[in-house]
Amino acid sequence: MTGSMPIGMTTWTTSTRTVEWLSQLGFIMKTYIKLYKQIISFENLILAWQKARKGKTGKGYVIEFEQNLFYNLIALHYELKYGTYKPKPLVTFVLRDPKTRVISKSDFRDRIVHHAIVNILEPIFDRGFIYDSCANRIGKGNLFALKRFDYFKRKVSKNGLIAKNPFQDNNYVVGYCLKADIKHYFYEVIMVDP
């Protein structure tokens, strides 16, 4: 039995043997059903609205959305349910603090949809991430990342090769750290309309 799953422009083919092999290696594949119903449920949209408005209750776009809150959430629910939902265009602006960046911001109702998706999918995917992955994870912010970096720095310095230094002491250890960023990544991503 084989099946294929499109990912981007590539089609990956899986077979029963591949699935069995991955299972033997400890990769347990689990099937989740009815996720879309959970994502678009009215209860989840209310929770998503609460998360999207956090820290932004004085913003005009939040106040405007909340003037007809029940109607707007019901309309969003039905658009998602019947497949008529279309994200609004991004608002782009330049932010100069501390460096110049081009920021693209989603409409408030689209951010509610983002939160609705994350509410359901995050618990599923979070279990599969490595412990040291910090990006957008609950309880793993900048302080956690700094502590993990310090841990690995100390680990390398205990086991590393001592470098020649003018002071003839053991405080200079050879070690490497990679800091990487993809320049203008989100600005360069090609958006494709469905």
Domain count, the chain: 2
9's CB contacts (< 8 A; 6+ apart) are: none
- Whether 23 shows a pLDDT value over 90: the answer reads no
Is there a single domain that holds both residue 81 and residue 41?
Answer: yes
pLDDT digits (tens, 9 = 90+) for 55-74: 999 999 999 999 999 999 99
**Are residues 38 and 124 both part of a single domain?**
yes
Residues 57, 122 within the same domain: yes
Task: Judge if 51 and 117 occupy the same domain.
Answer: yes
Instruction: Give residue 6's identity as a one-letter amino acid code.
Output: P
Give the tens place of pLDDT for each residue, 119-143: 999 988 888 888 888 878 888 888 9
Give backbone dihedrals phi and psi of 92, rounded to 5 degrees, phi first: -110, 135
Angle separating helix axes 69-82 and 42-53, nearest 10 degrees: 120
DSSP 8-class letter at 151: H
Q: Give residue 19's domain range.
A: 1-30
7 with 56, same domain: the answer is no
pTM, entire model: 0.70
Residues 25 and 41 in one domain: no
Nearest Cα neighbor of 113 from 36, 173, 15, 171 is 36
- Do 105 and 91 meet the contact criterion of CB atoms below 8 Å apart? yes
Domain boundary among 79, 107, 128: 128
